[in-house]
């Protein structure tokens, strides 16, 4: 401890020899160093945030649509000064990206590689291809499993070898097996299946929709949209029956309320109530040609002084051609007999003429087009 006491004594001796200005400078330097150390520790201890996309969203309309969709899902986010959307962790960011891709809300300028956060290069070509395929597959599994309707996902991607000729090149294919969560309607919901299919196309370059197969653990193909017509019809029928039941409950409540002042509720029974609703979808398109009102009728005059025109002229093109002459017919080289037939030789000295008048007029007519879609209409109501 002797050296420590000597060090303290030297510091005290130097401190006594320094001028007040030097002491103030030393204390300022020590204070700035302490404050900088505290700020560095605070910044290092602060939780790091994950960007939703790898670039700022500068378009106000795209940014507003994305933020409104995140608010509907209850996802916490933050927008930086340079318009970057950040999340608290990777799982939340993956879920948000999956929702935006499913709803087709990804900004048009966004690179698909930024959505999946995959590096494009590595040390060698072989390692690059292997790591690229692993990254695509793993990130795609994480994005699909981030959806609320999917419990587990298994993805297999087939990357064919490059061929010299394009017609010999085999396409990229992908097969996905998803396990729906209990209570999910993803098997019958076409929009959700299309969202997963779009998510897969974003992840794999050159992958076409017809080369994607999405199945459930039982082997039922979910993205076979041509055979989903039966499911759509069942869903439509279910909605129609719900609408009919709602209308019957409303009429039943109105009838019981109307006779409540006459009879007690225990003396009133409605054993049968039938409501007919026309659910047929009808669309009608109408195009009418109407006259143009130049001046409306003045209601203060006893007669109709309105000015109505069937059409309004826009432009007029008039061409008039006049001709008068003999209609000279060459007779060929000098000294040779001409080619005029004998029947027309006697008419060569006669003078003829003609007038051609061409008029083109463009008019504007007033038209009204109407498109109507009829909603379900109530028909006969039977109470027994």
DSSP for 189-221, written as a single string: -HHHHHHHHHHHHHHSTT--GGGEEEE-TT--B
Q: Which has the closest alpha carbon to 82: 107, 57, 112, 109?
A: 57
Quote the CA–CA distance of 285 and 300 in Å, as a whole number. Answer: 38
Beta bridge partners of 378: 277
Class of domain 125-225 (CATH, top level):
alpha beta
Per-residue model confidence (pLDDT) at position 213: 92
Per-residue model confidence (pLDDT) at position 121: 46
Quote the CA–CA distance of 243 and 276 in Å, as a whole number. Answer: 11
Class of residue 178 by CB neighbours under 10 A (exposed 0-12, middle 13-18, buried 19+)? buried
45's CB contacts (< 8 A; 6+ apart) are: none
Quote the CA–CA distance of 194 and 187 in Å, as a whole number. Answer: 11
Class of residue 372 by CB neighbours under 10 A (exposed 0-12, middle 13-18, buried 19+)? exposed
Q: What separation in angstroms does the CA of 134 have from each of 80, 126, 138, 155?
A: 32, 12, 6, 11
Per-residue model confidence (pLDDT) at position 228: 65
Q: Where are the domains of the chain?
A: 50-117, 125-225, 229-277
CB distance 150 to 178 below 8 Å: yes
Instruction: Note down pLDDT in tens along the chain; length 384 residues.
Output: 677 777 777 777 777 777 777 777 877 888 888 888 887 776 554 456 788 887 788 888 888 989 999 999 888 899 888 888 888 888 888 888 888 877 778 887 665 555 555 444 445 676 677 777 877 888 888 889 888 889 999 998 988 888 888 788 889 999 999 999 998 888 878 888 888 999 898 888 888 888 999 999 998 888 887 766 666 777 778 888 888 888 888 888 888 777 777 777 677 777 778 888 877 777 888 888 888 888 888 888 888 888 888 888 889 999 998 877 765 565 666 667 667 777 666 666 677 778 889 999 998 888 888 888 777 777 777 776
CB distance 367 to 290 below 8 Å: yes
For 354, the token pair is 């003609």
Quote the CA–CA distance of 62 and 105 in Å, as a whole number. Answer: 8
CB distance 222 to 216 below 8 Å: yes
For 57, the token pair is 């969203």
How does DSSP classify residue 47? P
Q: Distance of alpha carbon 231 from its chain centroid, rounded?
A: 24
Quote the CA–CA distance of 348 and 339 in Å, as a whole number. Answer: 13
User: Alpha helix (H) ranges present in 104-228?
Assistant: 112-116, 125-145, 190-203
Does this model's pTM top 0.85?
Answer: no
For 261, the token pair is 């002042």
Question: 238-276: string of b/e by CB count within 10 Å (b at 16+)?
Answer: eeeeeebeebbeebeeeeeeeeeeeeeeeeeeeeeeebe
For CA atoms 144, 145, 149, 155, the dihedral sign is positive
259's CB contacts (< 8 A; 6+ apart) are: 268
CB distance 304 to 350 below 8 Å: no
For 127, the token pair is 């390692």
254's CB contacts (< 8 A; 6+ apart) are: none
Quote the CA–CA distance of 301 and 121 in Å, as a whole number. Answer: 85
């Amino acid at each position: 401890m002797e050296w420590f006491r000597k060090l303290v004594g030297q510091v005290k001796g130097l401190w006594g020899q320094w001028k007040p200005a030097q002491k103030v400078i030393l204390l300022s330097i020590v204070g700035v160093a302490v404050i900088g150390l505290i700020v560095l520790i605070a910044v290092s201890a602060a939780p790091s945030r994950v960007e939703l996309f790898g670039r700022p969203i500068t378009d106000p309309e795209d940014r507003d649509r994305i933020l409104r969709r995140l608010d509907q899902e209850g996802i916490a986010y933050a927008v930086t000064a340079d318009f970057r959307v950040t999340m608290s962790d990777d799982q939340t960011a993956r879920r948000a990206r999956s929702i935006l891709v499913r709803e087709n809300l990804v900004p048009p300028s966004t690179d698909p590689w930024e959505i999946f956060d995959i590096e494009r290069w590595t040390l060698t070509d072989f390692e690059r291809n292997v790591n690229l395929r692993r990254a695509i597959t793993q990130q795609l599994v994480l994005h699909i499993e981030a959806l609320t309707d999917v419990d587990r996902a298994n993805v297999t991607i087939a990357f064919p070898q490059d061929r010299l000729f394009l017609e010999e090149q085999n396409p990229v294919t992908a097969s996905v097996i998803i396990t729906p969560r209990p209570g999910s309607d993803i098997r019958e919901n076409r929009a959700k299946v299309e969202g997963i299919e779009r998510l897969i196309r974003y992840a794999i370059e050159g992958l076409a929709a017809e080369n994607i197969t999405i199945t459930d653990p039982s082997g039922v193909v979910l993205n076979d949209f041509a055979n989903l017509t039966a499911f759509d019809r069942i869903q439509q029928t279910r909605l129609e029956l719900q609408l009919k039941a709602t209308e019957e409950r409303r009429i039943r409540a109105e009838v019981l309320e109307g006779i409540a002042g006459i009879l007690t509720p225990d003396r009133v029974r409605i054993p049968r109530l039938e409501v007919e609703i026309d659910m047929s979808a009808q669309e009608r398109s109408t195009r009418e040609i109407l006259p143009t009102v130049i001046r409306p009728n003045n209601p203060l005059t006893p007669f109709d002084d309105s000015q109505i025109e069937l059409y309004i002229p826009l432009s007029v093109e008039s061409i008039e051609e006049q001709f008068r002459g003999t209609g000279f017919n060459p007779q060929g080289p000098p000294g040779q007999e001409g080619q005029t037939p004998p029947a027309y030789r006697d008419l060569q000295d006669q003078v003829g003429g003609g007038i051609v008048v061409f008029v083109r007029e463009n008019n504007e007519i007033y038209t009204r087009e109407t498109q109507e879609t009829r909603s379900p209409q109530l028909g006969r109501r039977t109470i027994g």
